Amino acid sequence: MHDFITGGAGFIGSTLVDRALSHGHTVTVYDNFSTGIPEYLENAKRQPGFRLVTGDVLDAGKLASSMAGCDRVFHLAANADVRFGTDHPEKDLRQNTIATFNVLEAMRRNAVREIVFSSTGSVYGESTVIPTPEDAPFPVQTSLYGASKLAGEGLIEAYAEGFGFRTWIFRFVSIVGERYPHGHVFDFFKQLRTHPGYLDVLGNGHQKKSYLYVLDCIDAIFTALEKARDPVNIFNLGTDEYCEVNDSIRWICDYLGLDPEIRYTGGDRGWIGDNPFIFLDCRKMHSLGWAPRYTIREGIIRTLRFLEENPWVLERR
């Protein structure tokens, strides 16, 4: 098995690379290192079955030629930043929707027919059903990020129907754990290193979110690849719990032994398009025998431990 992994130098991507290599697969990583981190591939580079291509998914020609000989694609390259979509609307369109089209066309040219796609719970917008199942009512998009990922899902599904592709689409909650490179745990940890006496928090702290530990996420992906064999396989990926931002703040401060003043910007959401309550119904994934082994709190503490041990990650942004 030769896996082609776009965004393979990223947080989730590089963790997936290590797992695929440990399964004895050959792995080609395709990454432009715009947010990918070379150090995350240090272990992979020592494996004989590993190949690295520095390239952009918007470079359709290089993408297609690099995919020659591969059996399966994990398409993880993306603009993964839900928050700043309105600052540059074209970024989500290009890096998520058009990039996914390029991946699908490269697959067609190389007769590769299996694609794993990292989508997001953001495609549900502000669902009327919580916890939100995969067949929730037809969603209304609230972010450019969600809209661009939904567009990617739709393209992949149409290729499955039109060209006989098989796909596994995963709608993630936020992922935490080792190699975590951005998000609220990162921001809060970085703030508290700079000024332990106070913490600036977007919104009122009552936004409810769900988080999944990265190794649980990778376990789920490989479980679904093995056990779900429909042409189109769509799975929510999260934990069966959610927390408030305030819970997360408490866990972080307890771990660090700090008692900062919390300064809220106010309002029930952190930014335009922020969803004040994300909680996915993951029973479909559970039905395959998968369950997360780590709680949200444990995932966040492992993230903090990683950031403490790798302070160089904090300096990258």
What does the buried/exposed string (b/e) look like for 181-216 if buried means 16 or more CB atoms within 10 Å of the residue's CB?
Answer: bebbbbebbeebeeeeeebebbbbbebbbbbbbbbb
CB of 272 to a second copy, least distance (A): 5
CB of 108 to a second copy, least distance (A): 8
Which of 6, 35, 95, 97 contacts a second copy by CB under 8 A? 97
- Residues 150-179 within binding reach of a second copy (CB under 8 A): 150-151, 153-155, 157-159, 161-163
Q: Does 312 bind a second copy (CB under 8 A)?
A: no
Q: Does 136 bind a second copy (CB under 8 A)?
A: yes
Within 10 Å of residue 55's Cβ, how many Cβ atoms? Answer: 19
**Site track for a second copy across 69-88, x = CB under 8 A:** ----------------xx--
Q: Which residues contact 178 (CB under 8 A, 6 or more apart)?
A: 15, 214, 302, 303, 306
Q: How far is CA 108 from CA 114, 142, 185, 245, in A?
A: 10, 32, 39, 43
The answer to whether 112 and 68 are in contact (CB under 8 A) is no
Gap between the Cα atoms of 17 and 24, Å rounded: 11
Helical (H) or strand (E) element with 146: helix 144-163
CB of 271 to a second copy, least distance (A): 10
Q: Which is nearer to a second copy, 153 or 178 (CB)?
A: 153
- Residues 240-279 within binding reach of a second copy (CB under 8 A): 272-273
Q: Does 141 bind a second copy (CB under 8 A)?
A: yes
Residue ranges that bind a second copy, judged by CB under 8 A: 85-86, 89-90, 93, 97-98, 101, 104-105, 124-125, 128, 134-144, 146-148, 150-151, 153-155, 157-159, 161-163, 232, 234, 272-273
